[in-house]
Structure formats: C-alpha cells, structure tokens
Amino acid sequence: MINVTFTTADGEKIQAQGTGGSVMELAVAHNVPGIDGDCGGVCSCATCHVHVAQDDMARVGYANDIEKDMLELSDDVSETSRLCCQIALSKDIDGLSVTVVRE
C-alpha cells in the first residue's frame, strides 16, 4: 500500500492508502474535501490543486508547463503547487504529505 496524508484547508488530516492510479483519484476515493477532480484527471480543471510538502518536492517533482498554465486559474499558487491528478500513486511517493488549497 502507498500512504498519502492530505491536510484539508481547515486543518483536518486525512490518511489515505492506495495501490495505483493518481493522488487525485486516491483523494476522491477518500472524500477529501477540496479535491473534486472535475475533469477526470486530464489536467484541465485545477480542482485538484495541492501544495506538496517542501521535503517531498525532490521525489514528486515540480509542475510542468501544461500544469503551470492550468494553475494560473487557481488561487494560492506557490512553488510547491501541483495538480495532484498529475502525480502517479507509486512506491516512489509513499509517505507523501500534501495540503489541499480549496475548501
């Protein structure tokens, strides 16, 4: 199992476990508030915006240009912003912590 901790916009911590797919799909499956995944994970809605913990950026990586264009539509964009539909749920990110931007 791959573990991800989501911190919601109001500070609640939700621990989720999964075996594959994307971090967005994991969040939706665990009813994480603020992660809607409206576009189904094709990087065209920004309803899956998270801030990745700084310590995790090296293994998760930064947003690519397509993602950055989409993030321009979102509030509270930072250097560690990612659209979590673009983060594959793999062993490489086991223990990831992300903070949800939207309520």
Q: Which residues bind ligand FES (CB under 6 A)?
A: 24, 37-39, 41, 43-48, 70, 83, 85
Residue 6, beta-bridge partner list = 14, 98
**Residue 15: which residues within 8 A CB-CB, separation 6 or more?**
3, 4, 5
Name the minimum Å distance from CB 73 to ligand FES. 10
Closest CB to ligand FES among residues 44, 90: 44
The answer to whether 27 and 16 are in contact (CB under 8 A) is yes
Closest CB to ligand FES among residues 24, 32: 24
Instruction: Count CB atoms within 10 A of the CB of residue 27.
Output: 26
The answer to whether 83 and 49 are in contact (CB under 8 A) is yes
Name the minimum Å distance from CB 30 to ligand FES. 15
Name the minimum Å distance from CB 101 to ligand FES. 12
Closest CB to ligand FES among residues 2, 50: 50
